[in-house]
Chains A and B, each alone.
Chain A
Amino acid sequence: MYFVGIDVGLYSVKSVLVDEERILLSRGVVSEEEGSKAAYRVFQEILKEGNIPEDEIASIVSTGMGRKEVAFANEKRTDQVCIARGAYYLFPSARTVLDTGAGGCRAMKLGDHGKLIDFSSNSKCAGGTGSFLEAAARVLQLDVEGIDSLALKAGSVSRVSSYCAVFAESEIISNIHRGFSKESICAGICESIAQRMHDVLRRVRIEKEVVLCGGVATNGTVVKMFEAELDFPVLVPKDPLMVGALGAAIIARDLIR
């Protein structure tokens, strides 16, 4: 028997296929199609790749912002529940999980057996989210990876003190005008994001181990600075973008059991 989790996010659709024992496949596409179409396409692709007939899929759970558009899913679950489940599956020692994607930043607290017991999200402001990182990159005429690689070389940090993303952008511009090095400005941007992430995580009371997932987890400098904020290392999955879809797949499996 096979189980599928589908995560329909802001810009991309991710899917994970599991059987009763292990993770078999994962697949993600960046798509401008509407969520239902993209979800179906990804689902078909993963079946094809795994060479599995559709009727052997015992259950499908969808998650993410567009979860309700996935008409062929048996059940729908919120991101918080799926990410918590996925993170716990990957790291049974996880007690706190932070997910930072384009749309926002949220923290989840796990209780016994990985049960979700509390969660928090960033305020409406984009500070501390992937969107802020993208906006900052535009100001510096870099791509998101460029910020990471420049920040890595920084000898100092030009601090961005404002927590409002709009103000922070103007602060970055004035740091440029002041003649601070691009490296230190990039480090400042990463530090600002790491701090906002810490703020969201703290709202659920941090307990070790901490799992970090979502797009921002691929930025090495942010991760490093986030660890410095916490004062201990965090666990980052190999594929931090797939945790929600994985959680959905595990929940799909639990449904049948």
Chain B
Amino acid sequence: MKQYCKTRRLLPGFRLTLGFTLFYLSVVVLIPMSAMILRGSGMGWGGFWKYVLDPRAIAAYKLSLVASMTAALLNVLFGTLLAWVLVRYTFPGRRLMDALVDVPFALPTAVAGLTLGNLYGPQGWIGQWLAPMGIAGVNSRFGVVIALMFVSLPFVVRTVQPVLETFEQEVEEAAATLGAGRWRTFFRVVLPTLLPSIITGFALAFARALGEFGSIQFVSGSIPFRTEIAPQILIQHLDEHETAGAIAVALFLLIISFLILGTINLIETWARRFQN
């Protein structure tokens, strides 16, 4: 990458810092990535598509997509509610509740998986109540959604919360004075303002859920066509000694990651413009 400096640099350290940044990224990201792409290109398009479009892999992408989407949507619901309650109301334990929202972010995913697997298992505190209802808490899509919801919850709350904080209550009050009912005010005035942050939160939660592996490994049971998620296909290939398959799927997931990053950037640009 040829660097070209547009403005006159007043501060020193451009070469040093950029050089180090690029060197570091090369060693950590770019070289391993190109190694993978190179290994992947060795198998040709035929080999690549054979692994990527394998029916079982497709079922796993679908589950990843649908479960992440479901988890993110549920989080939009509960996360917005949480943000609302935390910002708008006073009640004992509010600060504790606020702090607890960060738990899924701080808790290692393996620990989350272990605990959720136990909690929702047939003998677990929650699972034993689900079992008579015919709901399998673990080794089921239900369990996958629960785990994904757990790991991605903070994203919605923490994106909506600050916007709600700075929200001009005068606007609401004005709407109320003009005779708008509480619900109407909420849906006509508050929600549209919150929408960009909710969408951003949704996108972040979705992206986080899509990449999740640790907790799912403990709760999904990896049943082909039913509870397997995309990263597990990759692990499966590695377990089965199909390095080529693992690389093909990894490349595919890498491309998806870039697409998601691009989309999130677009959403954020849009949200920013909307908010201004």
Q: Do the two chains belong together in a single complex?
A: no
